[in-house]
């Protein structure tokens, strides 16, 4: 049974071999990349709103159309921060946010042709956490009230 599952899992990720390799320069990410700016919002929405069973295919198509590694990584982190409640304690379903950095580090340690795999795993992990969050009340981080932010 486990062998059949493993084989099915490998065939499920075969699409990754059809994506371009991620060069080292593209995989370098700075903190400035992870800001909820208008230009990243469509990527965040794509990750939030696409059903789990279609997300891999849809994201792969976006990558083929030009979505960068950095854009996908930033969108994934921001979708998690906005949609996965970090309580009652950090961890559990919020692990989907915490794991994004580890997925990025795994990508950096991988050959260029395999750098998408950890990020796609993290995408699926986010969708699992998002589904659990919906079952537990569907928490969403509200927009920042700029009047309450100290200057």
Task: Dump pLDDT digits (tens) for 19-32.
Answer: 767 767 666 666 66
Kindly state the average pLDDT of the residues 128-145. Answer: 83
- The structure tokens listed for 29 are 């990410």
Q: Which residues fall within 8 angstroms of residue 11, CB to CB, at 6 or more apart?
A: none
Residue 4 in this model has a pLDDT that exceeds 70: no
> Residue 114 domain-assigned?
yes
Domain that holds residue 80: 16-136
> Residue 28 domain-assigned?
yes
User: Cα torsion for 55, 43, 64, 16, to the nearest 10°?
Assistant: -40
- The structure tokens listed for 121 are 């795993």
CB-neighbour burial class of residue 19 (10 A; exposed 0-12, middle 13-18, buried 19+): middle
Kindly state the average pLDDT of the residues 36-40. Answer: 80
> Residue 71 domain-assigned?
yes
Give me the number of domains the chain comprises.
Answer: 1
Kindly state the average pLDDT of the residues 112-121. Answer: 92
Select the more confidently predicted residue: 18 or 84. Answer: 84
Residue carrying the six token digits 């976006």? 62
> Residue 106 domain-assigned?
yes
> Residue 90 domain-assigned?
yes
The per-residue pLDDT for 9 is 44
């Amino acid at each position: 049974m486990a062998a059949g599952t493993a084989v099915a899992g490998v065939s499920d990720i075969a699409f990754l071999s059809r994506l371009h390799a991620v060069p080292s320069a593209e995989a370098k990410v700075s903190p400035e990349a992870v800001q909820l700016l208008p230009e990243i919002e469509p990527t965040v929405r794509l990750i939030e709103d696409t059903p789990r069973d279609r997300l891999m295919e849809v994201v792969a198509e976006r990558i083929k159309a030009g979505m960068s590694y950095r854009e996908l990584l930033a969108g994934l982190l921001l979708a998690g921060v906005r949609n996965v409640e970090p309580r009652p304690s950090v961890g559990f379903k919020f692990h989907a946010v915490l794991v994004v950095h580890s997925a990025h580090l795994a990508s950096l340690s991988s050959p260029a042709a395999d750098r998408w795999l950890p990020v796609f795993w993290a995408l699926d992990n986010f969708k699992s956490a998002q589904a659990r969050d919906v079952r537990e009340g569907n928490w969403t981080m509200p927009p920042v009230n700029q009047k309450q932010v100290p200057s």
